[in-house]
A and B are shown apart, each in its own frame.
Chain A
């Protein structure tokens, strides 16, 4: 994130957009996990989905500096939108297609994001936390109350996902789900990557750094923030839609507070402001959950809490931040000798 004393701004900007070898390696590893862990495909798909949600939070938090605690609302709205599409569209070919469902999920969540973004514009960090949390709670309450549409506390049942593009149907082993989740995550990620490296993305960084100064040099701060918040909401919605489509149901806990908290944890765990933080964090979080969960299934929450506390106290920038610090230290050593 921090420019390594660029000689020319143009070179720095180009450097940001270039695909590095380790990025390619990351995605290659993601794809090859299909062959390495054929028995864990469901879990891996879930990691992609969670990772995508965390990436969407990174857009607002890491790049625009908006602290929010209610991304779960968009995730849940997307989940229900995709679920309802699959439920009512079942049988009628174009409406039942998961891709269309996903777009609708993104659109609905984005619309909610757009409407609520105006609440987020004002006030301090604290107000934002409260407002976003409040919105998420209200959405959760609506979801549990509107039984006729959402199925209430029992969740949305009878979501039968149609085959993707009419060709690949979802199988029991989660193979289709894996590729579907991977490709959607990749495409969304690619979009985010383009976005944050565009002039739009750079202006967000300026706003994060100093909103007052950004405004002073003529940047439409509020418009930009509304835009990024809406986009992030849409991507959260799509990740929610993915979860519904791959698991074939939606339940109120897809909107619940712990979704927002988990996703935020994952992002901080991985490191915010790098875009990859969300994905890396999701992998690390799930692996840790699996590992600790096998030792003490009942008390793994304690260790997650401990890791979180230690992370905040001692580590800056999460896992990716640690890796970068390590690399810099190695480079410096190399220069010294």
Chain B
């Protein structure tokens, strides 16, 4: 029982790290970046290449994946995304679907279509007993990293100068600009961090969710669900949404395997029916 809860939390945490960047860009720039999963895939595949081809340690892969995706994110932001901020949502959706297609084909070309498997270092394999629950060491590791990240993010946003500038830019970009805040720079940096987190999530997820070129599409739905439930205005919203989703998904499949697949969609639609106003207040304003 505890094991299930634990697995659910680990899965939810992973979803959170994968999706949090999207929440930030969406809340911040009001940009629907469906291609967010492509950044996660970049991080995941970097891990595969570093570990399986170069034989580097898994621990090195995590920061590398973050940096790689962040750089990729900032380059794309400056080169392409920037031009779409004032376009319609439809254009943004189409643009990011186009990016997904290109990313999928590129990965297919470079790495092949077979799912890639990452083998963890021995120190992360195996299982231990905690509070009577039998838990996987790696899942514990995922929870620890994601937990630290969440606290860190929350701290940066709530307590630091950068955080208050960011919040100001989100709340009203024009006024923020008028006050001398470098909104463009903050956007670029935030986009980079968001993409980097996705990359880190991809790297962390690689050993659990196998990597194949259809990754961005497969997980796009999960990201969207996290956002639709958690909203985009806070970090804690998506955080709790991810945990809720992870636990509901895992527990649902455990206790009622026959209809497990429905549960997350049902939650999403129920939330959207009963609390739509609480979720997208920010984008509705425009």
Contact = CB atoms under 8 A, between A and B. Distances in A.
Do A and B share a direct contact in the complex (Cβ within 8 angstroms)? yes
Interface of A: 61, 67, 69, 119, 122-127, 129-131, 133-135, 137-138, 141, 145, 257, 261, 264-265, 268, 298-309, 311-313
Interface string B260-286: 011001101100110011011001101
Closest 10 CB pairs of A and B: A305-B101, A308-B98, A302-B105, A305-B102, A309-B98, A125-B89, A301-B105, A312-B95, A305-B98, A124-B284
Given A124-B280, A299-B108, A301-B105, 20 more contacts: A67-B89, A123-B276, A123-B280, A126-B32, A126-B280, A130-B227, A134-B265, A134-B268, A145-B259, A257-B221, A268-B90, A301-B101, A301-B108, A304-B98, A305-B102, A305-B105, A306-B102, A309-B95, A311-B98, A312-B94
Interface stretch (B80-88, B198-206, B239-247): B80-88
Interface of B: 26, 32, 80, 83-84, 87-91, 93-95, 97-106, 108-109, 217, 221, 224-225, 227-228, 259, 261-262, 265-266, 268-269, 272-273, 276-277, 279-280, 283-284, 286
B108, B266, B269: most-surrounded residue (chain A CB, <10 A): B269
Contacts of B286: 124
B84 A312 contact: yes
A105 to B, nearest CB: 24
Nearest to A268: B94
Contacts of B90: 61, 67, 125, 268
B272 A145 contact: no
Nearest to B109: A299
Contacts of B266: 138
Contacts of B224: 130, 133
Nearest to B213: A301
B272 A69 contact: no
15 contacts: A119-B273, A123-B279, A127-B228, A127-B276, A127-B279, A130-B227, A134-B268, A135-B269, A145-B262, A257-B217, A299-B109, A303-B105, A304-B101, A312-B94, A313-B83
Contacts of A268: 90, 94
B217 to A, nearest CB: 7
A141 B263 CA distance: 10
B221 to A, nearest CB: 6
Given A130-B228, A302-B106, A305-B101, A145 B261 contact: yes
B265 A138 contact: yes
A134 to B, nearest CB: 5
Contacts of A119: 269, 272-273
A127 B272 contact: yes
Contacts of A129: 32, 89, 93
Contacts of A299: 105, 108-109
Contacts of A301: 101-102, 104-105, 108
Contacts of A127: 228, 272, 276, 279-280, 284
Contacts of B94: 264-265, 268, 308, 311-312
B26, B265, B284: most-surrounded residue (chain A CB, <10 A): B265
Contacts of A145: 259, 261-262
Contact of A126 (B83, B89, B102, B269): B89
Contact of A137 (B83, B101, B221, B273): B221
Contact of A124 (B83, B97, B102, B283): B283
A138 B262 contact: yes
A65 to B, nearest CB: 9
B273 to A, nearest CB: 7
B272 A131 contact: yes
A334 to B, nearest CB: 32
Given A308-B95, A312-B87, A123 B284 contact: yes
B6 to A, nearest CB: 26
A125 B272 contact: no
Given A138-B269, A141-B262, A261-B97, A309 B89 contact: no
A305 B283 contact: no
B97, B277, B283, B284: most-surrounded residue (chain A CB, <10 A): B97
Contacts of A265: 94, 97
A313 B95 contact: yes
B98 A312 contact: yes
